[in-house]
Amino acid sequence: MPSGNGAVHASPSIRRFARELGVDLHRVHPSGPNGRVTRDDVQHFVKRSLHDGGPTRAAGGAGLDVTPWPKIDFAQYGEIERKPLTRIQKISGPNLHRNWLQIPHITNYDEADVSSLEAFRNEVNAEKSAADRPKLTLLAFLIKASIAALRRFSEFNASIDGDSLVYKRYYNIGFAADTPDGLMVPVIKNADSKGLFEVAGAAAELAAKARAGKLALGDMQGGTFTISSIGGIGGTAFTQIVNAPEVAILGATRAAMKPSWNGEEFEPRLMLPISVSYDHRVVDGAGAARFLRYVAELLGDFRRVLL
């Protein structure tokens, strides 16, 4: 895909005009003498791009030479119902689109043996005193294990800023919350300095606020890493989209009993599928495999989080 505006016949003022509008002159049909691109040509290109519903550039990225969105009269094939996108869909859609287009995504998958962790979680939640404290959820364990992994693999808690990588020394963990109006990502601030119960309580409070449509903007800002836990619903694996300007997002789907070879025999173990999607400009596949393995080891023996 052409990256500059060289080898195109256009005056410096037209080049500047095209640059300001983010137009790749290679894609503009020239109508001027000797194949020169005119101001009208650039304007026509922008109008046509807007009409086709496609951006002239991916928000500062390379030109996207995509065909226009199909325009179909669905009613000609059967009964339809038209509903406007929800407010959340209207806000999150462009962000997801930007992240999908601008971040070179890769997803790695692994499995964590959560047999002892789930036994411990259920035991704690069944205690008499459990009624007076937040319920320990798998999400809370995922958050604490992620923070331990983020401390070890600091590039996962970083952000690209121009030519630099900004490493954050604080751990604000966002989590995907499924709400009737769509996906929201509240952020638990300084989750590293909170205990498991406090994290579980903060997550429950933020998820309830999200479902009631009462999250403040500040509740969703400042995240350094995100977790999407959909095991309560189901699934064996999925590819979550990185939440820019973060560089990685952890996913978890439904844990299931599986036969595991212990060296002598197969024994049933509760295995949790986990995945990490990451910005390949910052993290490579080997780094992601190490990160995910470490998260799996922590979930397999949660005492290691303390080390």
Instruction: Enumerate the active-site residues.
Output: 280
| Distance from C-alpha of 114 to C-alpha of 136, rounded to nearest angstrom | 14
* Of residues 123 and 284, the one with the C-beta less far from ligand COA: 123
End-to-end CA distance of the chain: 49
Residue 229 in the binding site for ligand COA (CB under 6 A): yes
* Of residues 63 and 231, the one with the C-beta less far from ligand COA: 231
Minimum separation from the CB atom of position 228 to ligand COA (A)? 4
Residue 232 in the binding site for ligand COA (CB under 6 A): yes
* Of residues 146 and 229, the one with the C-beta less far from ligand COA: 229
Longest CA pairwise span in the chain (Å): 86
Asked if 220 and 257 count as a contact pair (C-beta separation under 8 A), the reply is no
Residue 175 in the binding site for ligand COA (CB under 6 A): yes
| Distance from C-alpha of 29 to C-alpha of 196, rounded to nearest angstrom | 60
Residue 107 in the binding site for ligand COA (CB under 6 A): no
- Restricted to residues 123-142, the positions that interact with ligand COA (CB under 6 A) are 137-139
Shortest CA distance to 225 belongs to which of 187, 173, 274, 188?
173
Could you say which of 58, 160, 183, 305 contacts ligand COA (CB under 6 A)?
183
- Restricted to residues 23-52, the positions that interact with ligand COA (CB under 6 A) are none
Could you say which of 255, 271, 283, 292 contacts ligand COA (CB under 6 A)?
255
Contacts (Cβ under 8 Å, ≥6 apart) of 242: 99, 103, 105, 226, 248, 249, 277, 278, 279
Could you say which of 18, 42, 145, 176 contacts ligand COA (CB under 6 A)?
176
Backbone region of residue 210 per phi and psi (left: phi > 0; alpha: psi in -120 to 50; beta: other values): alpha
Residue 272 in the binding site for ligand COA (CB under 6 A): yes
Shortest CA distance to 101 belongs to which of 288, 244, 284, 249?
244
* Residues forming the site for ligand COA (CB under 6 A): 137-139, 175-178, 183, 207, 228-232, 240, 252, 254-255, 272
